[in-house]
Amino acid sequence: MTLTQKVMDARRRLAMRHPNSSCSAEEIITKALKHKVYVAWSGGRCSTVALHLTLQQDPDIPVVFNNTGVEYPETVKYVHQVAKKWDLNFNELKPEADFWKIVKKHGFPQLRGSGKAGRPRKPMCCELLKEAPANKYLKENDMVGFISGIRVEESRPRALGIYQMGPYYKAKRDGLWKFHPVALWSMGKLMEYVKLQNITLNPLYAAGLPRVGCMPCTGFTTWREQLSTTKPRFYKWLNREYQKSVGEPTLWEYEDAYDICTGELT
């Protein structure tokens, strides 16, 4: 077992200490459908599996895709194709805010750290491009919560959150019901389900991406490796702008022949 696998296994074992961790994905969804909720779908494999599971119980449940305006084009195309193929009750939200204006005012998103009261500090772009449109949708449709595809293996904060609250709960901060049916699933179990149900995944995974969030996101540790592989020209520009923003020296200003994507001289 690799170090990464050990870390993910430890996160899952921690979260499984919560009394409600014994609930199956189907049981969690059944509980969710007693409330007026929607499925939050990002176009990623985890939320796609959560969506597919939910559709087995309620084929007409509202499905919400939050298009931040800076999604990978492949993700937007994939979501539209699947929405049509699965005949979804599909809702595409778009924010009033603009990512690049947010960056100009607040800077590029950074790794999440601890904010007030020990809660994770979220980038301003997440609040304005994702949470604001979702909250507006909730209020306009009298909804009380949502079903998501988060998994505890993905991050320590998520593992701690499920350990403390369980895979479904009513949040104190915003009063919303949150249901996470695949929270305790391993990647192996997730992919077994994908294969068994013959689910077509976002093509970005086949291109080697481990995550398919916003294309210019700089708020996770491997953003440079990911973007330089899939969108090298865009990466060069974004990396230059990012380094200027945070005050780091940029190689592009001094050596155009240096290829930061591979670390080799061209």
Encode pLDDT of 42-74 as tens digits: 999 999 999 999 999 999 999 999 999 999 999
pLDDT category at 247 given cuts 50, 70, 90 is low
Residue 256 has pLDDT above 80, yes or no: no
CATH of span 3-206: 3.40.50.620
Residue 4's pLDDT is 77
Range with the lowest mean pLDDT among 57-61, 155-159, 189-193, 194-198? 155-159
Residue 106's pLDDT is 86
Give the pLDDT mean for 175-191. Answer: 96
pLDDT category at 203 given cuts 50, 70, 90 is very high
Give the pLDDT mean for 205-228. Answer: 87
Q: What are the domain boundaries of the chain?
A: 3-206, 231-265
Residue 240's pLDDT is 87
What does the mean pLDDT of the chain come to? 86
Residue 195's pLDDT is 98
Residue 2 has pLDDT above 90, yes or no: no
Residue 122's pLDDT is 74
* Cα–Cα distance, 191 to 207 (Å, whole number): 16
Residue 217 has pLDDT above 50, yes or no: yes
pLDDT category at 263 given cuts 50, 70, 90 is very low
Sign of CA dihedral 55, 59, 64, 65: positive
Residue 248's pLDDT is 46
* Cα–Cα distance, 112 to 119 (Å, whole number): 10
Residue 255 has pLDDT above 50, yes or no: no
**How does pLDDT run across 113-127, given as a tens digit for each residue?**
544 444 556 788 889
Residue 104's pLDDT is 86
Is residue 183 within 8 Å of 151, Cβ to Cβ? yes
Residue 152's pLDDT is 92
Alpha helices in 112-215 (DSSP H): 124-126, 132-140, 156-165, 187-196, 203-206
Residue 209 has pLDDT above 70, yes or no: yes
Under DSSP, the state recorded for 226 is H
Residue 244's pLDDT is 80
DSSP 13-35: HHHTTSGGGGS-HHHHHHHHTTS
